[in-house]
Amino acid sequence: MVGTATIATFLVAGAASLFMAWSIGAGSSGSTPFAPAVGANAISVMRAGFFVGILGFAGAVLQGQGVTDAVGKELVLFSAGNGLTALAATVGLLIAGVLVAIGIFAGYPIATAFTVTGAVVGVGLALGGQPAYEKYQVIVSMWVLVPFVGGGVAYTVARLLRAEGVSERLVVPLLAGIVGVIIANVNFVLLGPAGESQSIARTVAASMPGSTLVDMAIVSVVIGAVAAIVLERDMAADETAGQRHFLLVLGALVAFSAGGSQVGLAVGPLAPLLSDFQIPTVALLLGGGLGLLAGSWTGAPRMIKALSQDYSSLGPRRSIAALIPSFAIAQTAIFLGVPISFNEIIVSAIVGSGYAAGGAGVSRKKMVYTVLAWVGSLVLAFAVSYVAFLGVDAVF
């Protein structure tokens, strides 16, 4: 039986979780996906804020379980049947929330993924858990590779779109085809059996005779071909409008992916407590998704308007080059169950596309400052959460 004090602590943790979800929705995950489209005059600020909220909510519910479980259950190892307590989750979320709030009001780029990860590991180890070294290797590898992979892909795509003698009427639909192939292999909760996710390609292939892998490849190619053909015909009617339509689709996909990858940062610490309170995981994701939605609708429009002024200098081609790897990396993180900074994804891709244009708009000093802030967020959150939990636990 759950005691009154534990219920009260869980409610405080839930409030901290909702604040974290709101700040994520109002911040990078709510503002960056459509900022390039707004900067390219493909959509208005208010419409962008509306749609990014809806898409982020959908991504949280349909794809949020993987990162949620990773944050709540895989960052620190406990003996069978044990996990983060309500008090530990509360301390971790409050510390992370306060640090993020300080970063927002002080203008420092506090990365939510690094902050939440450091806070959860800090309270988990202080609670007596053991480090999950194998998971840390996967997470750190992902964090280190993101700037190189995201920036490298964005640089390559931007150079390809800028190359003389290369027809955008051919290249842009080809890129749409690649995006279509990725979409075909993205996992969705609604397509899988109970408790599992499954991709469109696997779902369709399961109903076809023959080798599943071969059938999945065929389905993926067909979906990619359809996406390429649709965009090619759109660009044939109006090339500029076709590019903007593609930019809107990419913004929608990145917003959806942001919801799926970021909601776990807000609600993940509560995951170990669900069995005690008999709360289904989908209810947790719905709550986190609503927090993202509220943040996107109340705070994102102002951020989108501000960011779109920066993105307007990119133009549609560089924006397309930045959003394609952002979508692919976010979906990879969701598949691997890795908490990842959406700022890191977007910034890396923008820097890569910027270097393709001769380094336009790329400040090395700002890059170094941002990286140091990311590392500092992780270390500070870990240290403060570890010490804070030891102090609170000693008192209560």
**pLDDT tens digits, residue range 243-275?**
889 989 998 999 999 899 889 898 988 888 777
The whole-number pLDDT of residue 223 equals: 96
For residue 189, give the DSSP letter.
G
- Above 90 in pLDDT, residue 362? no
Cα(108)–Cα(131) distance, integer angstroms:
29
Question: Are β-strands 187-188 and 198-199 bridged in parallel, bridged antiparallel, or unpaired?
Answer: antiparallel
Q: Is the dihedral of CA 74, 77, 79, 83 positive or negative?
A: negative
- Above 90 in pLDDT, residue 191? no
Domain ranges, residue 145: 4-395
The whole-number pLDDT of residue 28 equals: 65
The whole-number pLDDT of residue 162 equals: 82
Cα(131)–Cα(358) distance, integer angstroms:
43
For residue 127, give the DSSP letter.
T
pTM of the model: 0.88
| DSSP SS3 for 82 | coil
Cα(181)–Cα(214) distance, integer angstroms:
14
What burial class does residue 139 get, using C-beta atoms within 10 Å of its C-beta: 0-12 exposed, 13-18 middle, 19+ buried?
Answer: buried
- Above 90 in pLDDT, residue 383? yes
- Give the DSSP H or E segment for 115: helix 112-126
Rounded mean pLDDT of 161-170?
Answer: 82
Domain count, the chain: 1
The whole-number pLDDT of residue 143 equals: 92
- Above 80 in pLDDT, residue 38? no
pLDDT more than 90, % of the chain: 31
- Above 90 in pLDDT, residue 141? yes
What burial class does residue 172 get, using C-beta atoms within 10 Å of its C-beta: 0-12 exposed, 13-18 middle, 19+ buried?
Answer: buried
Residue 127 identity: L
Number of residues that this document lists for the chain = 396
Alpha helices of the chain — where are they, by DSSP H? 4-26, 28-31, 35-39, 45-63, 65-69, 86-106, 112-126, 133-162, 168-184, 200-206, 212-237, 239-267, 274-277, 281-298, 300-311, 315-336, 342-356, 364-395
In tens, the pLDDT along 301-358 reads: 777 766 666 555 667 788 888 899 999 999 999 989 999 888 788 878 888 887 776 6
pLDDT more than 70, % of the chain: 88
Rounded mean pLDDT of 204-214?
Answer: 82
More reliable by pLDDT, 10 or 131? 131
Q: Are 266 and 21 in contact (CB under 8 A)?
A: yes
The whole-number pLDDT of residue 138 equals: 93
- Encoded tokens for 178: 């690649």
For residue 341, give the DSSP letter.
-
More reliable by pLDDT, 4 or 217? 217
Q: What is the 3-state secondary structure (H, E, C) of 310-360?
A: HHCCCHHHHHHHHHHHHHHHHHHHHHHCCCCCHHHHHHHHHHHHHHHCCCC
- Encoded tokens for 173: 């639909």
The whole-number pLDDT of residue 231 equals: 95
- Encoded tokens for 310: 């920066």
Whose tokens are 């993020």? That residue is 100
The whole-number pLDDT of residue 366 equals: 65
The whole-number pLDDT of residue 139 equals: 93
Number of DSSP helices (H) and strands (E) in the chain, helices first: 18, 4
More reliable by pLDDT, 302 or 133? 133
In tens, the pLDDT along 101-121 reads: 777 666 565 678 899 999 999
What burial class does residue 203 get, using C-beta atoms within 10 Å of its C-beta: 0-12 exposed, 13-18 middle, 19+ buried?
Answer: middle
Q: Share the mean pLDDT of the chain.
A: 84
- Above 60 in pLDDT, residue 161? yes
- Above 60 in pLDDT, residue 1? no
